[in-house]
Structure 1
Amino acid sequence: MSTEHVLDHRTGGHVGRRIRESANKVPEVTVYFWIIKVLTTGMGETASDFLAHLLGPIPAVGLGGLAFAASLVLQFSVRRYVAWVYWTAIVMVSVFGTMAADILHVGLGVPYALSTPLFLVALAAVFALWYASERTLSIHTIRTRRRECFYWAAVLATFALGTAAGDLSASAGLGYLGSVVLFAVAICVPALAHRFGALGAVTAFWTAYVITRPLGASLADWMAVPGRRGGLDWGLGPVTLSWTVAIVAFVTFLAVSRRDAERIA
């Protein structure tokens, strides 16, 4: 019997009602979660570049920041996980997180070799504060406003870190396709380590979560950039649109089927 059920028995059902009222605000981790996560990382990468070319860097960042803030306000306003609300916020984090990493490199001249460890330190600081406050980093317990704040701070840091790491590998001579192979192999490491008991579930999850960012971004860049840069030259706009359509299709499926929603007895 779970702790929640024990407490529910002892208090005549009051705890049970509080648990139902405080449903987890993030989806269950399924294969759909990882597919959409990779799609959002790639779409965010090409959408950020597309908007910067179309509107200019400063207007694009301003627009991205407003959309990011609005999506988080909406996410915090709902009381449970809602597929389209949650994944809209993830898309906006992806776009804005890419812009944040690009601003440091393009706008301020910070090399990827420096920004990557800086974002790593920022992510470690978020995790340290989160754990010191809540004694857990599990995404299965995002039931309070404070934990949700920590969660989204960590998500934003992982996107910025992953963007910088992906650009670092691409500029270091691997190219976009080489980076896809690198990160595809890398993401198998935490999965296998957890499978054979060498890595805890929470650590494995967040490690894989970080790696999905450069994996998806490198794949989308490879599809979009010209052949002279080692890509397929499909263009930023078409790649952004096609990946967006795929995201909408998967999120619509989950919204209808609720296969990734928490099931509370």
Structure 2
Amino acid sequence: MNKPLLGALFALALTGAGAAPALASPAPQADTQAVDFAGTVALSNCSGSVVRMPDSQPGDPALVMSNGHCLESGMPGPGEVVVDEPSSRTFTLLDADASDVATLKASKVAYGTMTDTDVSMYELTSTYQQIEDEYGIKALELQDQHPEQGKAVTVVSGYWKKTYSCSVDGFAHELREGDWTFKDSIRYTSECQIIGGTSGSPLVDDATGKVVGVNNTTNESGEECTVNNPCEVDESGNVTVHEGIGYAQETYGIPACFGEGSKLDLNAEGCTLPKP
């Protein structure tokens, strides 16, 4: 997984001198729209984004999405699911130009896990309407349909204020990393050379501007199924390693689990997120 960063010096060591300034994305193609930083957030050790469901209402408490391995309580073990855990974590909200515009505060971890997926969902003390009225920032919408192979996508890192543009290369039946197993993961083409601190970044479909995944890991050194070196396992149990290739976890199933008032309901029809 992309390591949560514990401090700026360690973060800079990962990327080399001079890597911290924001970098512009390549010019968008004719059939895409420019992807910017509006609605993304920086955590203390990871990236994230303010997200809404297709049916979210302006007065609903806003939600921030990141990785399960970015939780302040540490990485959940295999089979562990965190639900409705109090949190006062803060997030730095960015505008389109990657400028810091506000500090948002969580009221709780609504959901977090590293089983089948790698996601955390924080409920904020602010509503979507309050964030839009006060800062002019709209939440990013989660797409509720399975992502498509070949689509142009962008990883938008609020921590680094940097974007990575590539395409959906395909999907891993199972992605195994250390003790964890993720299912139906998105594999990037080689252009997305993600690094530590990009964990939790939204993966945005360039054509629609909607979020189709949450960035979470890359195979750093070619090892097989170890931490920071995930491997793919197909339906027949065959193992494949793609050194230098990054992955995201799909998010299209999340909207079915959040109802009116941004309330989590793991028993809702269509919700397939792991239960405690």
Shorter chain as denominator, the TM-score bin is under 0.3
TM-score (norm 2): 0.27
Higher helix share: 1
Higher relative contact order (CA 8 A, sep 6+): 1
TM-score (norm 1): 0.27
